[in-house]
Amino acid sequence: MTKRTSVTTSAAGFAALGLDPRLLDALTALGYEEPTPIQQASIPPLRDGRDVLAMAATGTGKTAAFALPLLHLIDPALPPKQRLRALVLVPTRELAMQVAEAVHRYGKTLGASALPIYGGASMEQQISRLKRGVDVVVATPGRALDHIRRKTLALTGVRMVVLDEADEMLDMGFSEDLEAILSALPAERQTALFSATLPARITAIANSHLTNPVAVQIERPAVAPGETAKVRQVAYIVARAHKMAALARILDVEAPESAIVFCRTRTEVDQLTETLTARGYRAEALHGGLSQDQRDRVMKRFRAKGSDLLIATDVAARGLDVKHVTHVVNFDVPWESESYVHRIGRTGRAGREGVAITLAEPREHRLLRNIEAATRQKIDIGTVPTAADLRSRQMEQLRDQVVKTLAENELDRYHAIIEQLAEEHDVMDIAAAALRLAARRADGDVEHEDIPSIMPRATERSGAAPRPARQARREFAGKVGGAVAKLYIGAGRKLKIRPGDIVGAIAGEANIPISHIGAVQIGDRHSIVEVPEDKANFIIARLSASTIKGKKVRVRRDQA
């Protein structure tokens, strides 16, 4: 659903879908303008009373696609036991809360009420609220079934049931619960099933519980040529023994404002959280082994920016919507491309640019290619930042801190010390010594080492070990069949340039195979790349006539 500053025409796009004028007023007040493809395809048949089977990923606007039609069924004037008109089933507590909040926002002008019910919360409070009467219940399957068996969730008035993220509910083991709930609902009802994928188990549920459904399939839109994707995607090929060190180095250099790190297992989540906490990060674990109270506290701190990193499993993080996430990290490559899409969808929200980082072992390079083919988006292959890169980044951060401190203009009490020292020492040396002390305090004066990373051409040889730089240069010269030239490119870290950006520009603009592009070194304001000598002038001409990450840059032979 698209938000824009001007809302003068906001109702028009949705009015064509046959929505209640009061809902159109609510959408106008919320600043919504045009319906998304999933809303355009799903709302009309649901308004007409048809069943819908929809395949749509997270972030396509599917909540409004079913919430707006079901609000037409409510009647707040009915007695409490007959008032419930719609039941929405979701996989997690977080998603239950989000969907209930959305229903409340959209239906405010109708006087609609929505109640999220889930495990881990007070059963008595939920029972009390249900007795008073609600229009829409948004529930996790287990807690919904508990209420049905206690006869505290009256289903006789339900006219629509929605299964949201049905594939996730099945993956979490809710198959029998779903069957029991669907069987307990009135036979005369609408059923809407929304899922990111349509495996055989979903098809079986649709065949059993949906009547002549309208099939809707919404593909995630590909990035149009010339447009910059909201999420920068980069992968680092590293041996498993170096993954933890590589992750820490990448986080140190990227310095994310807020990041989610995805792991496959609970054990991995706990180990990673402990390690990163020991390195000074405010890291929190989130997985199915935590109690609901623990989950709530973790998410409260993360939403309030009381923690930097959320280390999570896929299921535990399902349904999270935290808009300030700047980075998503896959500590392992997801086996399914759908999981990858769900994960990276946690960043790049609300118009911000996000970063998706994947750590892949040599044997997982094939999985990256499969994800690229499925998503039709390029994943750049980067090299793990060197110790020099880290030191440079630390100096940048230190400089920024000094500038901020100077701007605060609260330095008077230090002037006397500086004046005393200046009688025997150069002022530049005094400042340098102060910076060294600050850097040592921040980093412990640790001597960092380079972490081996493996470029794709090495992984294609079944994960060959990383080679020393000198040997790699000799092999590169041998591969391209002649001399090697170094090119100077006038863009570096200050413009957020990464090795993948340089390699991608040369390969795309000059049609040079990636295997014919050598080492890439990224500095603060420039980069150096090795290319075949006989292609150097051609590459310079093509890059000079194009852009890198949307910026014109100076390109010439390196004169060092």
Q: Are residues 482 and 372 in the same domain?
A: no
Residue 448 lies in a domain: no
Instruction: Report the Cα–Cα distance between both ends of the chain, in Å, rounded.
Output: 52
Q: In the prediction, which pLDDT does 320 show?
A: 67
Q: In the prediction, which pLDDT does 31 show?
A: 63
**Domain closes at, from 217, 248, 274:** 217
Q: Are residues 257 and 382 in the same domain?
A: yes
Closest CA to 4 of 36, 40, 35, 33: 33
3-state helix, strand, coil in the chain (%, to 5): 50, 15, 35
Q: Are residues 237 and 289 in the same domain?
A: yes
Q: Are residues 204 and 286 in the same domain?
A: no
Residue 50 lies in a domain: yes
The residue segments making up the domain with residue 531 are 467-557
pLDDT in tens, 302-357: 888 888 899 988 766 665 667 778 899 999 887 667 678 878 877 876 556 789 99
Kindly report the CATH number assigned to the domain that includes residue 498.
Answer: 3.30.70.330
Q: Are residues 211 and 100 in the same domain?
A: yes
Chain-centroid distance, C-alpha 261: 10
Q: Are residues 75 and 186 in the same domain?
A: yes
Residue 327 lies in a domain: yes
pLDDT in tens, 87-143: 999 988 878 888 998 899 899 889 999 999 998 788 999 999 999 999 999 999 999
Q: In the prediction, which pLDDT does 225 show?
A: 41
**Domain closes at, from 194, 217, 240:** 217
**What are the residue ranges in the chain where pLDDT is below 70?**
1-12, 31, 33, 57-60, 219-229, 315-321, 335-336, 338, 349-352, 366, 390-391, 393-394, 397, 400, 439-482, 514-515, 560
**Domain closes at, from 217, 243, 264:** 217
Please state, in angstroms and rounded to a whole number, the distance separating the CA atoms of residues 330 and 249: 15
Which alpha helices (H) appear in 444-535, and where do they start and end?
456-459, 469-480, 499-510
Please state, in angstroms and rounded to a whole number, the distance separating the CA atoms of residues 406 and 375: 47
φ, ψ (nearest 5 deg) of residue 383: -105, 140
Judge contact between 60 and 194, C-beta under 8 A.
no
Q: Which secondary structure element, helix H or strand E, spans residue 308, and what is its range?
A: none
Residue 56 lies in a domain: yes
Q: Which two tokens stand for residue 412?
A: 């008077």
Q: Which two tokens stand for residue 434?
A: 């102060």
Give how many domains the chain has, as a whole number. Answer: 4
* 3-state SS, residue 260: strand
Residue 462 lies in a domain: no
Q: Are residues 122 and 145 in the same domain?
A: yes
Q: Are residues 376 and 426 in the same domain?
A: no
Which alpha helices (H) appear in 172-265, and where do they start and end?
175-184, 200-209, 243-254
Calculate the alpha carbon distances from 102 to 63, 65, 97, 115, 273 in Å. 8, 11, 9, 11, 32
Residue 222 lies in a domain: no
Residue 223 lies in a domain: no
φ, ψ (nearest 5 deg) of residue 169: -65, -40
Residue 455 lies in a domain: no
Kindly report the CATH number assigned to the domain that includes residue 284.
Answer: 3.40.50.300
Burial class, 374, CB count within 10 angstroms (exposed 0-12 / middle 13-18 / buried 19+): middle
